[in-house]
A and B are shown apart, each in its own frame.
Chain A
Amino acid sequence: MQHTLEQFFRALRAADVRISPAEAIDASRAVLVTGYGDRELFKDALCVTLAKTADEVERFEGVFETFFSRDLVTLPPGGKDSEQGEPSEQDMAQAEGSPLAQAVLQGDATAIQQVMEAAAARANVADIRLTTQRSRLTRRLLEEMGLEEIERIIANARRMPDGQGEGLANRLDEARRSLFEQAQTYVARQHDLYAAGSARELREERLLRKQLNADGGVDPVDYVLMQAMVKKMAKRLAAKYSRRRRTARKGHLDVRKTLRRSMGYGGVPFEILWKVKKVDKPSIVAICDVSKSVAASAQFLLTFLYSLNEVVERMEAFAFSGRMISVNDILDDHGVDTAILKVLQQIGFQQTDYGRSLQDFAEQHLDKIDRRTTVIFLGDGRSNFADPRLDIMRQIHDRARAVIWLNPEPESYWSQGDSVMHRYARFCHVAKQCGNLEQLERIIEDVLRSYVPH
């Protein structure tokens, strides 16, 4: 049974439930306490020891049901309870030497299942990785189950004089077909258990590298996946921002406060006070370009903006192409798809004017930036040859804690044509290309770390 548990852990890991060896040991100990008799108890015990988040609980339930499903094998036709009636003595004698054929003729589903499980272990069906391996593994599984022997028995029976063996041959032939189908289902199920996760990983990996401003943008199929991944990244970013805000500096005596407090005790310092370092609550101002030139990646940028708005407590979001508007309300009140659509409807795909938009910002919202604010620009810095208003950019730079510019274009395109990216970059603490999810992830992991207050 330990082996079965190990296989189950593997299936869980394939479904992206993280299980460390220590947790595996815990689960095994838990099973020792519960035993295998009570299915619900067994399942709950494994669940509390293995699945450690609400998501994982959900995936755990799915895997558990697939893995420990009971109706593995349906009885193939041709058994003793089928319409052809009891197999004769002679038929049974023919089946001598093939446990599978005997099990089929006796209509023993448990025995068939055992044969199949044992064969699957020999054929390493559980090592399945790719969809394309399915037919080969089905073949292997059937071989290991001893289908060849059944075929031999059928052939022998057909060769018998006077059609004596015809009945047996027909029986086994039908059973063979049914077994073939069942082997296929079995392998497909194993594929779901062990390989479905890796297929998703593959998709995620591909999506990570995909240039999001490439023609056609993101595939609608991948769009949901992208949203989930962006959200995860935004959450990670937010986690860094939500650090504690007051740290007691141990060992640093606050002499002034201690002396003041000791006055009440006649100068005896009964209460000692330590110095406390205050860390300011940070805030983010995010400004997103949704103009024509970034049309392809606008959706990606807005998704990031949306996720950021969801996870960061103090966040001001703006979008612009010709003019700039605050989109906080839109992001707050709608689901991600509607919100993005609404922003694009209101302001999207017009002629870019960075200067004009910055002026809008300076006139109405400059007070939102103070020394605790991190400003994130999402845009390509292509200003249609209009005045880029570097003076406002400098103002923003001087007021803010940090200015970060994420540009969907590669660095070699910067300052080509109407791009004034390099001129803006002078006023940014970080200016990076962010054209796909992988780059976004790296920026969040490495670059932003040093600009997040500790």
Chain B
Amino acid sequence: MTTARATGAADPLASVDALIEGLGGVGYIASRRIATALYMAVNLQKPILVEGSAGVGKTELALSTSALLGLPLIRMQCYEGLDESKALYEWKYGKQLLYTQILKDRMGEALADAPDMDAAMVRLHGMGDLFFSEPFLEPRPLMKALREDDGCVLLIDEVDKSDEAFEAFLLEVLSAYQVSVPELGVIKAKTPPLVFLTSNNVRDLGDALKRRCLHLHIPLPEASLEERIVATRVPGIEAGLTKELVAFVQTLRTLDLRKPPSISETVDWARALILLHADSLSPDMVRDTLNVILKFEQDIEAIEPQISELMHRR
């Protein structure tokens, strides 16, 4: 992927406006607040906690940022039961075991001429550390991110799905950009990674974590912004159709639905309509494709009878 830097454009981190433009270049239409949050995160070297309902582009923001800055993206998906060994590092137990098996004879030889038990132990001590060294270390996302010397974008996705113990463990990583591994000592990032945490509000995050992060809440976009997003994400869509479908989705959002459609649903819908060669919205077309934007049976049932009325309302 080409980056703004590589193509010789102005430094995207120079100002908020440059950032908006840069993100636009990699296909992410950012509102001013989003760009400001990102700008602050880079300048203050703080993680960003991104909240918002599903499908408003939280994860996409991290992906686009990594594309824009030309930094590698390291992604960690959180889930219930995620712990240090899966997030930070693990010893390659199998490899350690295999090597001991293979080296068994050599070790026997090396220890054979030791005069007594104590001398053998001393020699063994010298070798023991071999098995707890870098080659046997399996770095997981967090450690990988800290060891990227040129910096990277670290995406900790859906941090609210992890449990409180893990959240507490994250604090050290996020405030000092370092972790302590008992066998190796403290590992500190040369270039602090740019960290994004996303949350769907499954549970309330702790104050300690929130305090360490900048907070960005991405709301559902206004019509004009959404039209631009659709136009960018679905190239080749006609302006008239974009206007119509965005207006319809915006109307849906004013209704009391279980899951109001978010941006990703709008984009999917636009793609679906393109596939069906639609150049304008008709009630039938909407009825056939309603399942793309509404994800609950009850919602579809509630909306179906009033489609044409809703289309005329705007």
Interface residues of A (CB under 8 A from B): 18, 20, 22-23, 26, 29-30, 33, 40-41, 44-45, 47-49, 51-54, 57, 235, 239, 242-248, 268-272
Check A48 against B210 for contact (C-beta < 8 Å): no
Q: Which of B74-107 contact A (CB under 8 A)?
A: 80-81, 83, 93-94, 97-98, 101
Report the minimum CB–CB distance from B22 to chain A (whole Å): 16
Interface string of B22-55 (1 = CB under 8 A from A): 0000000000110011011001101011010000
**Out of A52, A242, A247, which one reaches B210, CB within 8 Å?**
A52
User: Which of A30, A44, A52, A244 is the one whose CB lies under 8 Å from B44?
Assistant: A30
Task: Assess A48 versus B37: contact at CB under 8 Å? Given A29-B44, A54-B51, A268-B101.
Answer: yes
**Chain A: CB-nearest residue to B215:** A52
Contacts of A269 in B (CB 8 A): 97
The reply to whether A40 and B94 contact each other, CB–CB distance below 8 Å, is no
Q: CB-defined interface of B210-225 with A at 8 Å, one 1/0 digit per residue?
A: 1101111100000000
Nearest residue (CB) in A for B84 is: A250
Contacts of A52 in B (CB 8 A): 49, 210-211, 213, 215
C-alpha spacing A41/B16, complex, angstroms: 8
Instruction: Say which residue of A41, A57, A243, A245 sits within 8 Å of B36 (CB atoms).
Output: A41
Is B116 on the interface with A (CB-CB < 8 A)? no
- B residues touching A (Cβ–Cβ < 8 Å)? 16, 32-33, 36-37, 39-40, 43-44, 46, 48-49, 51, 80-81, 83, 93-94, 97-98, 101, 163, 202-204, 207, 210-211, 213-217
**A247 near B37: Cβ-Cβ < 8 Å:** no
Instruction: State how many angstroms separate the Cβ of B201 from the closest Cβ of chain A.
Output: 9
Report whether B214 and A49 are in contact in the complex, using a CB–CB cutoff of 8 Å.
yes
Given known A-B contacts A18-B207, A54-B51, A242-B203, A48 and B40 have beta carbons under 8 A apart: yes
Total A-B residue pairs with C-beta atoms closer than 8 Å? 78
List 19 other contacts, CB 8 Å, given A33-B39, A49-B215, A270-B97: A20-B211, A29-B44, A30-B43, A41-B16, A41-B32, A44-B32, A48-B214, A48-B215, A49-B214, A52-B211, A53-B217, A57-B215, A235-B204, A239-B203, A243-B163, A245-B80, A246-B81, A270-B94, A271-B93
Is A26 touching B44 in the complex (CB atoms < 8 A)?
A: yes
Once the chains bind, are A40 and B215 in contact (CB under 8 Å)?
no
Q: Which residues of B contact A235 (CB under 8 A)?
A: 204
List 29 A-B residue pairs with CB atoms under 8 Å apart, sorted by A's residue number. A26-B46, A29-B44, A30-B44, A33-B39, A33-B44, A40-B32, A41-B16, A41-B32, A44-B32, A44-B33, A44-B37, A48-B216, A49-B214, A51-B215, A52-B211, A53-B217, A54-B51, A57-B215, A57-B217, A235-B204, A239-B204, A242-B202, A242-B203, A244-B80, A246-B80, A248-B81, A248-B83, A269-B97, A272-B93
Bound Cα distance from A23 to B46, whole angstroms: 12
Partner of A247, one of B43, B51, B81, B93: B81
Across the interface, which residues of B come within 8 angstroms of A57, CB to CB? 215, 217
Contact A23–B40 (Cβ < 8 Å): no
Q: How far is the CA of A301 from the CA of B80 in the complex (A)?
A: 33
A56 smallest CB distance to B (angstroms): 8
B211 partner, pick from A23, A47, A53, A239, beta carbons under 8 A: A23
With the chains together, A8 CA to B275 CA distance in Å?
53
Complex formed: what's the CA distance from A270 to B101 in Å?
Answer: 11
Contacts of A41 in B (CB 8 A): 16, 32, 36
Residues from chain A with Cβ under 8 Å of B203 in the complex: 239, 242
CB nearest neighbor in B for A40? B32
List residues of chain A with CB within 8 A of the CB of B213.
52
CA separation between A182 and B98, bound complex, in Å?
A: 84
A223 to B44, CA, bound (A): 44
A48 touches B81 (CB 8 A): no
Take A242-B203, A244-B163 as given contacts and tell me if A271 and B94 are in contact as well, using a CB distance cutoff of 8 Å: yes
Instruction: Assess whether A45 is in contact with B36, with CB atoms less than 8 Å apart.
Output: yes
| Complex CA distance for A239 and B160, rounded to whole angstroms | 12
Residues of A within 8 A of B202 (CB): 242
Residues of A within 8 Å of B51, CB to CB, are 53-54
Alpha-carbon separation in the docked complex, A52 to B210 (Å): 7
Q: Which has the most chain A C-beta neighbours within 10 Å: B32, B37, B44, B216?
A: B44
Known: A26-B44, A45-B36, A48-B33. A270 touches B216 (CB 8 A): no
* Cα of A246 to Cα of B216 in the assembled complex, Å: 31
CA–CA, A336 to B263, complex, Å? 29
